[in-house]
Chain A
């Protein structure tokens, strides 16, 4: 019986470890409000709010329309998940002051210029 328990405990440890590995990193350093610099600046800019609980809002200032999605952090990179299952990768730069968002929906070593939106961090938001 003890051997059975030992086996179960070992399996639980393995699975527990896998679960812990799968939890991702803290969102806190990147949570906050962002505003697009390129290519949408001025009136037609995009507002991005990343909340610490994993929810996020993408708001088009001109249309007043907002889209909700989810996000997480892995290896210092931000992953945005749309409701339809699309993934968008964002790379924080300048100590988290800027976000380079790759709109292709694919992972690239660096963001392709024609599909890139750069966001600047602004005050507020995140909680």
Chain B
């Protein structure tokens, strides 16, 4: 710097150039323009940066008093390689190309100084290039550790939270003692039905019962047993059922033994109870049916959450435009939208896992031993993956996990539509929204967003190798 100052003083003594005052924010030199001047900073502060055609900036350095710029393009005889902008009001010594060349001829000390500076730039440029290459390679690396981190942490948090949650649920749902309950085969049950020797009780939720049930059966949903039992007694009285008439319970699903649990509770109330054994679905083909097949489920309006869910569909359309598809800025937008949606999904389920467990049961795809584990684990995985996306941590792994969840959701939703199950989605909010092909499209949109993040995300990320605030194009 001392040497630089000496050179500046010398240039002043030689009465070379003219002093110019530059207000803050003014661009003194523009990248790509033909060079006409060399500049020496007398006072103030200026920023040197490069900018790509699509507006991505790389800040190179900040210059202060004694520094100079503009020499690279003049020496190389090529357009300006970077732009320079005043960060504060600055005074510069502006030297024309002709004066600069004359000074270089007459002042070998200054010429050496400039060669030294150019060499320094070259070395620094090489270092920067190496750093950036390493960083880009690291950004694209995904390791099993990333997945282990997100999924493992989700599992640990889910288990610990469940320990202290007021609404705690057992890790594996178990049916109590059912040893004393008589199991009745389908032919035996048909016989009882024909002879009217038993009252048939459907243990499923009312929406399933309303859609299809054994004709003449009564509905006592296991979930509301304590609250609805008086209503059930009232119905038995209305039907003039003798107190010793056996109750034959049916309505299990692959995901939960509603029938066995209800039978156990009714037995505790001193009823004579039997359970229909064998295939869960077999009664639908063997018995005369009542109900309204295809009856639509009422779904509570979701409000703001419902509108936010449409964003993936609009982003899905943006992704169809080729130049936009690869934009890292689109990746950032996708990360924020997807992250917020998944955090919102998670928060609506985390506090009451029992409610979400019943939503899982409704899909009738999960074995009963896995229902509670899934209901505990999934919201935490959604929360962590969503947070990682928003904060820019392990974004490729987080996007993969979210994409995986979307595939599971799409399979579940298509299954519900194809089977005509009378359920709500249970995706966000406890009342849920209807399961339609639109819902499938929204999930497909989110899947495409996850894919876009996986392939093109590289801005504003906290990752191995540090924090990238701006993209540097190599």
A residues whose Cβ falls under 8 Å from a Cβ of B: 3-4, 7-8, 11, 14-15, 18-19, 22, 39-40, 44, 46, 58, 60, 62-63, 65, 67, 70, 79, 81-89, 103-109, 115
Q: Determine whether the beta carbon of B390 is less than 8 Å from that of A18.
A: no
Q: Tell me which residues across on chain A come within 8 A of B166, comparing CB atoms.
A: 70
Q: Determine whether the beta carbon of A87 is less than 8 Å from that of B430.
A: yes
Q: How far is the CB of B362 from chain A (nearest CB, A)?
A: 11
Q: Determine whether the beta carbon of A85 is less than 8 Å from that of B357.
A: yes
Q: Across the two chains, which residue of chain B brings its CB closest to A55?
A: B166
Q: Determine whether the beta carbon of A14 is less than 8 Å from that of B390.
A: yes
**Looking at the complex, which one of B223, B231, B348 makes contact with A22 (CB distance below 8 Å)?**
B348
**Looking at the complex, which one of B205, B357, B462, B469 makes contact with A105 (CB distance below 8 Å)?**
B205
Q: Tell me which residues across on chain A come within 8 A of B169, comparing CB atoms.
A: 85
Q: How far is the CA of A4 from the CA of B340 in the complex (A)?
A: 19
Selected A-B contacts with CB under 8 Å, 12 pairs: A3-B469, A14-B340, A18-B344, A44-B230, A82-B226, A84-B222, A85-B353, A88-B227, A89-B431, A103-B224, A106-B205, A106-B297
Q: How far is the CA of A103 from the CA of B357 in the complex (A)?
A: 20
Indicate with 1 or 0, residue by residue over B436-474, a CB within 8 angstroms of chain A CB atoms.
000000000000000000000000101000010100000
Q: Determine whether the beta carbon of A19 is less than 8 Å from that of B230.
A: no
Q: How far is the CA of A63 from the CA of B356 in the complex (A)?
A: 32
With contact pairs A7-B391, A22-B347, A70-B167 given, residues A82 and B300 touching in the complex (Cβ less than 8 Å): no
Question: Number of contact residues on B: which range applies?
Answer: 35 or more
Contacts of B207-266 to chain A: CB distance below 8 A: 207, 221-224, 226-228, 230-231, 234
List of 8 A-B pairs having minimum Cβ-Cβ separation, nearest first: A85-B354, A86-B223, A67-B226, A107-B300, A104-B206, A85-B358, A107-B431, A85-B355
B30 within 8 A of A: no
With contact pairs A14-B340, A105-B206, A107-B431 given, residues A4 and B467 touching in the complex (Cβ less than 8 Å): yes
B47 within 8 A of A: no
B424, B430, B469 interface centre (most CB from chain A within 10 Å):
B430
Q: Across the two chains, which residue of chain A brings its CB closest to B226?
A: A67
With contact pairs A15-B387, A18-B347, A88-B227 given, residues A81 and B355 touching in the complex (Cβ less than 8 Å): yes
Q: Determine whether the beta carbon of A105 is less than 8 Å from that of B352.
A: no
A19, A85, A87, A89 interface centre (most CB from chain B within 10 Å):
A85
With contact pairs A85-B358, A86-B358 given, residues A7 and B392 touching in the complex (Cβ less than 8 Å): yes
